[in-house]
Amino acid sequence: MTAIHYIGFDVHKKSVSFCIKTADGEIVEEGTILAQRDALREWARERKHPWKGAMEATLFSAWIYDTLKPFAGELHIAHPARMKAITAGKKKTDKIDARTIADLLRCNLLPVCYVAPPEMRDLRRLLRYRALMVRESVRMKNKIAGLLMETGTPFHKEKLHGKKYFAQLLKDLEEVPESVQDLLRLSRSSMEMFETTQKRLIRQLLVQPKLGQRVDRLASISGVGPITALTWALEIIDPHRFSSCADVLSYCGLTAALKSSAGKQQRGPISKQRNLWLQTTLIEAAKLAPRWNPQLAAVHARELERGHRNRATLAVARKIAAYLLAVDKSGKPFELRSPEMADLAAATLQKAG
């Protein structure tokens, strides 16, 4: 029987350090490979034994993973935060890191994290780039308002970013330096470019056949729009990797940190170990969803009676995540199971309105 080798990779921008070990921990080979696809493929073809490999999640891990995956019996990416907890030590070098990863892999102690399929990673990259475009657009809007205030120019806040109003405002400017007028035009054109780009990216994502159907199902939940649905679909990828609602709430960063020792428990603020994209989107959705969803309005009203608006928003975000997980796992549009609950929620929404 051919022995299986266990390989730990310490990946960097220009090079990849590796350590090959047998099942009993004996070092077979160590070295460094250029971080280039051809060099990695050539190195992988030279392996004479079947092998399993692992690397820590970094900015460079995804393409290295995709390059080596066809040659490996198994290939994993490890969770960096958990790796630090396991491998903390005074001495840290690339060689030691590669050895440690190989040891964790062969002893079945590697904190493996989920790796999305390449096609889903490509779509997720588009959505995250869209978020960048939105942020830059908002920056340009703020800059336009700031320039006007800096020069003492009065303007209508709600109409400022309308095309006709802004064009008329530029014509009516008085005692404003020409340099400021140029900056206003430049900021406006940049804002329009960012807005156009983010809308094009959304259209590009929604025409994807599988993704479009999934988004339609998720958007069947009242108060969940295409951005929330897209973010959920492209960040969660596979809903069946979460065994419970508590797991997905933790992943979304909607649960508090917990410290428990000697029978005492201490709850902290919302944990920073989360998917930031999902957390931001769900909390923003929770601020608006109760206006259209009577069930979420009932949750918000119940929590608001306890006197804490932020906790009410967080409770709504948790409920949205639970709804999204249920719809995504079932593959069916959202529907209420209890007519009585629907009537109660509708009454709550009417009272709030």
Same domain, 341 and 245: yes
pLDDT at residue 109 in the model:
92
pLDDT at residue 92 in the model:
83
Q: Is residue 213 part of a domain?
A: no
Return the beta strands (E) in the chain as ranges.
5-11, 15-21, 27-34, 51-56, 74-78, 256-261, 264-270
pLDDT at residue 340 in the model:
53
Q: Which domain holds residue 169?
A: 118-207
Same domain, 38 and 99: yes
d(CA 224, CA 320): 8
Same domain, 141 and 196: yes
Same domain, 36 and 129: no
pLDDT at residue 257 in the model:
75
Low-confidence ranges of the chain (pLDDT < 50): 345-346, 348-349, 351-353
pLDDT at residue 100 in the model:
92
pLDDT at residue 349 in the model:
43
Same domain, 99 and 185: no
> Sign of the CA dihedral 286, 291, 294, 300?
positive
Same domain, 46 and 136: no
Q: Is residue 198 part of a domain?
A: yes
pLDDT at residue 348 in the model:
46
Same domain, 17 and 126: no
Q: Is residue 88 part of a domain?
A: yes
Same domain, 246 and 341: yes
Number of domains in the chain: 3
Q: Is residue 336 part of a domain?
A: yes
Tokens of 153: 């120019």
pLDDT at residue 85 in the model:
63
pLDDT at residue 2 in the model:
76
For residue 146, give the amino acid letter: G
